[in-house]
Amino acid sequence: MKTILHSNDIECKGCTDSIEKALLELGGVSSVLGNPETKMVTVEHDDLMSIDELLIRMEEAGFESKVVP
């Protein structure tokens, strides 16, 4: 399953590196690709992973985010 998240708090490559590390620590996440220019993060994960888990981990990493429909 693919989920795209947007966060206005993403400002640089260091931000996306931090997000990638935080999300990859979650069981069920297979890949994370952040783009500081678009302020978006694409997350590939299994179907059992809830979107809320992704959003909570983003917030714990310091990045308030929302799901891009």
How many structural domains are present in the chain?
1
Q: What is the CATH number of the domain that holds 47?
A: 3.30.70.100
Q: Which amino acid is at 4?
A: I
Structure confidence at residue 49 (pLDDT): 93
Quick check: is 43 in a domain?
A: yes
Quick check: is 55 in a domain?
A: yes
Quick check: is 3 in a domain?
A: no
Quick check: is 21 in a domain?
A: yes
Quick check: is 69 in a domain?
A: no
Mind listing the pLDDT tens digit for each residue in 18-56? Answer: 999 999 999 999 999 999 999 999 999 999 999 999 999
Q: How far apart are CA 63 and CA 1, in angstroms?
A: 22
Contacts of 11 (CB under 8 A, 6+ apart): 36
Quick check: is 1 in a domain?
A: no
Owning domain of residue 14: 8-64
